[in-house]
Amino acid sequence: MTRLSVILPVLNEATIIAAALARLQPLRGRGVEVIVADGGSRDDTLAAARPLADTVTRAPAGRASQMNAGAGLAKGEVLLFLHADTELPDGADSLILDGLARTGTLWGRFDVRLSGSHPMLRVVERMMNWRSRVTGICTGDQAIFATREAFFRGGGYPEQQLMEDIAFSKRMKRLAQPLRLRQPVVTSSRRWEKNGVLGTILLMWWLRLRYFLGADPGELARTYERRRA
């Protein structure tokens, strides 16, 4: 039986998908399943992904729906949700499987490190990791994982356009506290560098505050896309 399935939600990632999947080939060699869930790419993402993944599927656009679609096809006992611009640490499969078995918990995430060299990025990553340790709320940049049984018992990812990782964390916390792996994944800092580190920090804090105050995730997603444009 497949022990671990890695699910990548992608959209128009032709420039990076081959490299992202190439990094996962050692895991495939150890029996890890790799699934790419595409949200309607208009570039060559699908063509680049097919030779390097076990399954490539299409799903309605939106990370939540794409990850749920990938999970529905996965054969693994544990599901790992990985952004295409996030790199796992060496031995990530063993870290996840051994950690879950050792602690008896049902889900978790890695610490995160941002790829860029800007000093403010060190502050951002430390705050992300600290906030996650204190609250048990995880973000997609931290490579969230869960046992298959717990994922479906918790209801999977809520089908919303933004903050789906926060909503998922809240669902999963009703079942168990997350496993916090201190070995970091490395996430691209491209969005921070494109729009300015400070500006991106303030935007994300503002969006999260509005979300916690009850704002509609669809409205927040539209705001996020306008500010990124």
pLDDT digits (tens, 9 = 90+) for 71-117: 999 999 999 999 999 999 999 999 999 999 999 999 999 999 999 88
pLDDT digits (tens, 9 = 90+) for 5-20: 999 999 999 999 999 9
What domains are there in the chain, each with its CATH number? 4-191 (3.90.550.10)
| pLDDT value for 210 | 77
Does the predicted model carry a pTM greater than 0.75? yes
pLDDT tier, 226 (very low <50, low <70, confident <90, very high otherwise): low
Helix axes 63-73, 164-173, angle to 10 degrees: 50
Tokens 């990094």, residue located = 23
Count of Cβ atoms closer than 10 Å to residue 43 Cβ: 13
Average pLDDT (213-217) is 71
Share of the chain above pLDDT 90, in %: 75
At residue 43, does pLDDT exceed 80? Answer: yes
| pLDDT value for 224 | 66
Kindly give the residue spans of alpha helices, DSSP state H, lying in 61-196.
63-73, 92-103, 119-135, 148-153, 164-173, 190-195
CA distances from 31 to 1, 27, 54, 106 (A): 9, 7, 11, 21
Among 31-40, 90-99, 156-165, 208-217, the minimum mean pLDDT is found in 208-217
Amino acid code (one letter) for 211: Y
List, in order, residues 6 or more apart from 28 with CB less than 8 Å away.
Answer: 34, 54
